[in-house]
Amino acid sequence: MFWRVVALALIVGSFRSFATSIVAVRTLEDVSIAADSLGMFTRQDGSSYSRSVCKIHRIGDVFVGIAGFDADPINGFSVLQIVSDAIRGKRNFVERMAAAGSAIESALPSEARSLRERRPADFREITDPKAGGVAIILVGMEDGTPSVMVQKFGISVTPAAEIRIVPSEILSCPGSDCPGGHYIFRLGQSDAISKYLSKGPYVVADSAEFARSLVQLEVDDPTVSTTVGGPIDVVRISKSDEQWVQQKPVCR
């Protein structure tokens, strides 16, 4: 299905998902990941339009969520393909994230240079300090434990006009980032989510429903209604099974 989406994009231009909203909720028992579906596209003439896309993908025994610039058929730049190739044969989450991060960091400069030369509007967005760049989240089970790793890759331009990739520290759970075992990871647009979480204590009775409800806050936020939209895809992974709680037919 991924290749069918790319084939369509070849006709109309490149995919942008800068305002994507992806949330992963990790508990001691499971991890759930939810993502909105709105994809922004740029036509060859520079105009934009939107349609529903898949932002959560299965690669072997893990799931990856992708936010940022992706699926550029003109240059052949695909974060999903980069990550799929990089993590093949890697045994654990640490190795997978290290390989995926290194591959993304290596591929981004040439894509950014091409955008600067040929599509300056996309280049301005991919280098935006707040919403640009690329971010990935890996979720799954490792040794019977729900596991999550997240890394973001900013793109900046030096005073000498050199393109620089700025990877963030990797957030992971289990690990020092979630000493209590519970953690909420967010990629992309999350202002409404942050406002909700800052109001006080909350109870995660169902990780999948909680992840979905947080993404729904962004979908319902009128300030991002043109860049974040439903339906919301949700998958829950536990030691006993994995379940697509919600999934668009086009992503199956």
By the 8 A CB rule, do 81 and 74 touch? no
Q: Is 251's pLDDT higher than 60?
A: yes
pTM of the full predicted structure?
0.89
Q: Is 244 helix (H, G, I), strand (E, B) or coil?
A: strand
- 131 is a domain residue: yes
The domain that holds 69 is classified in CATH as 3.60.20.10
- 233 is a domain residue: yes
Q: How many other CB atoms sit within 10 Å of the CB of residue 55?
A: 27
* Alpha-carbon distance values, 147 to 30, 178, 198, 203 (Å): 8, 11, 25, 20
Q: Left if phi > 0, otherwise alpha if psi is -120 to 50, otherwise beta: which for 96?
A: alpha
* pLDDT given at position 60: 94
Angle at 68 between CA 94 and CA 245, to 5 degrees: 70
The range of the structural domain enclosing residue 124 comes to 2-239
| pLDDT average, residue stretch 108-119 | 94
Q: Is 11's pLDDT higher than 80?
A: no
- 246 is a domain residue: no
pLDDT (tens digit per residue) in 175-201:
999 989 999 999 998 999 999 999 988
Q: Which amino acid is at 20?
A: T
* pLDDT given at position 7: 28
| CA-derived radius of gyration, the chain | 17
* pLDDT given at position 52: 85
- 47 is a domain residue: yes
Q: Is 6's pLDDT higher than 60?
A: no
pLDDT (tens digit per residue) in 69-109:
888 878 889 999 999 999 999 989 999 999 999 999 999 99
* pLDDT given at position 224: 74
Q: How far apart are CA 25 and CA 238, in angstroms?
A: 12
Q: How far apart are CA 44 and CA 14, in angstroms?
A: 8
- 156 is a domain residue: yes
By the 8 A CB rule, do 207 and 31 touch? yes
Q: How confident is the model at residue 225 (pLDDT cuts 50, 70, 90)?
A: low
| pLDDT average, residue stretch 128-150 | 93
Q: What percent of the chain has pLDDT over 70?
A: 90
- 249 is a domain residue: no
Tokens 């339906």 belong to: 231
Q: How many domains does the chain have?
A: 1
Which helix (H) or strand (E) element contains residue 70? strand 62-70
* pLDDT given at position 73: 78
- 245 is a domain residue: no
Helix, strand, coil percentages in the chain from 3-state DSSP, rounded to 5: 30, 35, 35
- 251 is a domain residue: no
Q: Please, what is the average pLDDT of the chain? A: 88
